[in-house]
Amino acid sequence: MNIEELKQKMKVLPKHPRIYPPYKIHWNWDISFKCNYKCSYCEVVRRDEEFNTQIADTDKWREVWNRIFDNYWCTHVRFSGGEPTIYPNFLPFLGMLLEKHTVDITTNLSFDLNKFLDKVKPGGLSISASFHPEFTDFETFFEKLKYLHFHGFPSTLSYVGYPPHLDKIPEYKKRLEDLQMYFKIIPFIGNYKGKKYPEAYDARERRLLEGFATDSKDEHLNDMNSRWVEWRVEKEENKETRDTKIKLGKLCRMGQMYAKIHPDLTVTRCCAGYHGQQSGSLGHLLDPNFKLLDDAQPCSVDYDCPCFKGMFVGEEEDKWEPLWESLDHPIYKVEYMREYAKYLKEQGKK
Ligand code: SF4
Ligand code: SF4
């Protein structure tokens, strides 16, 4: 494809193109820590009182996300929380966001399916559903998940490795994998029966988690599940490997290719430390002059890096780069940006 063809395909050239993998900025947005469920093992809803959650209307969001598109082109927004779908006017906002960006929602799937289908069209949206057995039964949940997955919204199921829920994993995992759907296991972090997890997983539970993390036919899923277990469970115990998690002073692309948006709309490089502040604040999302970092910067965090997908420059690229693959936008495809990056690098050499 020559540059003129490429420009036509891209429609708009960004002011600040991202010329390094994964070529697309990823936002992790804890839109609020409010939730309509109250799972006994939940570690996040209590964080709601830490933030003054900021609500904006769809017009304001359109202005903000158009500006981000003009600066960086199509980005990927990963909503988490809390339950993102209970944010006021979430569905119209989501429909708007998908015009120029791609989205993944971590959701307990409690939203009304008809209202969702009315406002949100397939293309560029994936669903990371988390199944919480204290608030819904598996069959109801699975029916909804299957419907979404097979009607244009690629969906996966995440399941917290809460000790009393571990034994159901083989059955649920098989049900999903029989349909070639992903089942992700999230090792539990928190307290159960007076013990602190993940350190307190016993040998049997640990074997179960490790086994589940590697027994899928899909190698990409095995890789992802194993990295979670390795990062959260195994390295906790081993001092030598734990030291490899300290990245202080090393170049990292978080803040350039990734940023964390908090419920009060402050933006930080990553989630390290209280409200991500130790990693470095980048500003406020509603500020018209808000900008990401232009280059990789040294890590300023002097303790364990919390991210198993950390974008360390010159280190483990072969491991972390594939983990940032996301759904493509129907119009603004990542391959165009990859091509454009190649062109810009060649021009730079000249
Ligand atoms: S659904 Fe998720 S955010 Fe909501 S209470 Fe349960 S674990 Fe917490
Ligand atoms: S703590 Fe990890 S993810 Fe955050 S800036 Fe440092 S190396 Fe990057």
What is the CA(37)–ligand 1 centre distance, in A? 6
Give yes or no for residue 310 CB within 6 A of ligand 2. yes
User: Mutation test of ligand 2: which of 305, 312, 315 has the most ligand atoms closer than 8 Å to its C-beta?
Assistant: 305
Give the whole-angstrom CA distance, residue 73 versus residue 65: 10
Give yes or no for residue 39 CB within 6 A of ligand 1. yes
pLDDT tens for 127-182 read: 999 999 999 999 999 999 999 999 999 999 999 899 999 989 889 999 999 999 98
- Whether the per-residue pLDDT at 192 is higher than 70: the answer is yes
Which residues touch 236 (CB under 8 Å, ≥6 apart)?
198, 199, 242
pLDDT tens for 290-330 read: 999 999 999 999 988 988 889 999 988 888 898 898 899 99
pLDDT tens for 91-133 read: 999 999 999 999 999 999 999 999 999 999 999 999 999 999 9
Q: What is the mean pLDDT of the chain?
A: 91
| Contacts for 201-206: CB closer than 8 Å, 24+ residues apart | 201/161, 201/163, 201/233, 205/161, 205/163, 205/166, 206/233
* 46 vs 107 pLDDT, higher one: 107
Domain-by-domain residue ranges, the chain?
A: 23-236+257-288
Provide the token pair at 215.
């027994």
Chain CA centroid to CA 303, Å: 22
- Whether the per-residue pLDDT at 85 is higher than 60: the answer is yes
What is the CA(54)–ligand 1 centre distance, in A? 20
Q: What is the mean pLDDT of residues 54-67?
A: 96
Provide the token pair at 270.
């990553």
Give yes or no for residue 186 CB within 6 A of ligand 1. no
pLDDT given at position 228: 63
Q: What is the mean pLDDT of residues 256-272?
A: 97
User: Which atom number of ligand 2 is nearest to the Cα of residue 300?
Assistant: 6
- Whether the per-residue pLDDT at 271 is higher than 80: the answer is yes
Give the whole-angstrom CA distance, residue 48 versus residue 263: 8
Give yes or no for residue 32 CB within 6 A of ligand 1. no
Please tell me the residue having the least CA distance from ligand 2 atom 5: 299
Give yes or no for residue 106 CB within 6 A of ligand 1. no
Q: What is the dihedral of CA 207, 180, 167, 78, to 10 degrees?
A: 90
pLDDT given at position 133: 93
pLDDT given at position 212: 72
Provide the token pair at 83.
């339950």
pLDDT tens for 198-244 read: 889 988 888 778 777 676 677 776 776 666 666 666 555 565 556 67
Q: What is the dihedral of CA 95, 96, 102, 108, to 10 degrees?
A: -40
What is the CA(132)–ligand 1 centre distance, in A? 8
Listed residue (161, 263, 174) closest to 210, CA to CA = 161
Please tell me the residue having the least CA distance from ligand 2 atom 4: 270
Whether residue 185 contacts residue 159, with contact meaning beta carbons closer than 8 Å, is answered with: yes
Helix and strand numbers (H, E) in the chain are: 12, 13
Provide the token pair at 10.
């891209």
DSSP state string for 158-183? EEEE-GGGGGGHHHHHHHHHTTT--E
pLDDT given at position 53: 95
* 213 vs 66 pLDDT, higher one: 66
CATH tag for 23-236+257-288 (out of 3.60.20.10, 1.10.3210.10, 3.30.420.340, 3.20.20.70): 3.20.20.70
Beta strands (DSSP E) in the chain are 26-32, 76-81, 102-107, 125-130, 155-161, 183-187, 190-192, 195-197, 251-252, 258-261, 266-268, 281-284, 297-298
Give yes or no for residue 45 CB within 6 A of ligand 1. yes
pTM listed for this prediction: 0.91
